[in-house]
Amino acid sequence: MSELKNDRYLRALLKQPVDKTPIWIMRQAGRYLPEYRQVREKAGDFMTLCTTPELACEVTLQPLRRYDLDASIIFSDILTIPDAMGLGLHFITGEGPKFHKTVRSAADVANLSVPDMEDSLGYVMDAIRLTRREIDGKVPLIGFSGSPWTLACYMVEGSSSKDFAKIKAMMFDTPAVMHDLLSVLAKSVTAYLNAQIAAGAQALMLFDTWGGALSGPNYREFSLAYMQQIISGLTKENDGRRVPVTVFTKGGGQWLSHMAEVGADALGLDWTTDLSLARYQVGDKVALQGNMDPCVLYAQPERIKTEVKEILKAYGHGSGHVFNLGHGIHPTINPEHVAVLVDAVHAESIQYHQ
């Protein structure tokens, strides 16, 4: 594999000195880019795009051709594991992900097993291997998975949900069944992420999109504990470098002190969390990623630059900050505004690393 030319992102995750704050953007390969929409149309449907390594590689690389980003993230979906478990993932335009089968009972959970990573999920590993070759050491490649709790939400509800009534009913009424489901998912995610590392992923992200729907005690029992279990089972080094792990719980800013104890190298923050307060809470335990409101990108360039300055100032001097949005970029954002963001982060952050 090619030597890494820009390791700013990996260094920041490990709180090592950097020359400027690194930036990448959640969902940076996506519908806001016209070139992505062309490939998506060529693919015919979203799942074909995800499961065809050459197409997944192409859309992964597209943002790097436009912007001076410090990391790339493999193009895939968080629901690949439930799909590999036979639940039948499909997408309906305007409605998001849905499953043909749901998991609602102890018998349903008993029918689940850890998928074969190079068989039913081999297309993800092939996409990572191909992308590592094509990226040629320009920036690190991030692998990822949904958290067990987030995957379970979709598996039990059958789609996205506003109130999570079905999964919370299972959690409160039959907690043992819920734990059995989360346990098989934790084993699957651990194997999945380790396979991504072996294929060439140089950093990892755990997306706990729906952890914020829980109360504090339930979050620790049903979400955070399983992410800790995954992190403890991950390959720590590959290619002579540490493989850093970032945990991102949307809506989880009030639990940072607990999150900082699970062994992750960094915590992702959404825009509702004060970055300076977060840094004070976690101290030197972890790096922080975030946390601009994606909707700032609808504003004019000067407003975007102002927001960048405020967020960099909130984190302050020193390493340990990866600039990102507080959630995925919206499909209707002007791509030129993203260039303003990336360039502003690099230009304005130099003063914080001298």
Summarised one tens digit per residue, pLDDT across range 65-92 is 999 999 999 999 999 999 999 999 888 7
**8 A C-beta contact, residue 312 and residue 304:** no
- d(CA 127, CA 176) in angstroms, rounded, equals 37
10 Å Cβ neighbour count for 332?
9
- Residues 17-31 pLDDT 10s: 999 999 999 999 999
Task: List the CATH number of the domain containing 52.
Answer: 3.20.20.210
| pTM for the structure as a whole | 0.97
Active site members? 27, 31, 40, 77, 154
Which one, of 254, 340, 253, 252, lies nearest residue 296 by Cα? Answer: 340
Number of domains within the chain: 1
Does 81 map to a domain? yes
pLDDT at 232 over 70: yes
Mean pLDDT of 198-209: 98
For residue 159, the enclosing domain spans 8-353
**Is 322 part of a structural domain of the chain?**
yes
Q: Is the pLDDT assigned to residue 2 strictly greater than 80?
A: no
Asked if residue 107 has pLDDT above 80, the reply is: yes
pLDDT at 258: 97
For residue 170 the two structure tokens come to 């299972």
Please check whether residue 3 lies inside any domain of the structure.
no
* 211 inside domain: yes
What is the per-residue pLDDT for 161? 85
Is residue 248 assigned to a domain? yes
User: How do beta strands 89-92 and 72-73 pair?
Assistant: unpaired
The residue written with tokens 């960099």 in the block is 312
Whether 260 maps to a domain, the answer reads yes
Percentage of residues of the chain with pLDDT beyond 70: 100
- The total of other beta-carbon atoms located within 10 Å of residue 105's CB is 12
**Binding site membership for substrate: which residues?**
27-31, 77, 154, 209, 327
Question: What's the number of CA atoms in the CB half-sphere (13 Å) around residue 173?
Answer: 9
What is the predicted pLDDT for the residue at 268?
Answer: 98
Residue 1 has a pLDDT of 62
For the chain, how many residues are written?
354
pLDDT above 90 (res 37): yes
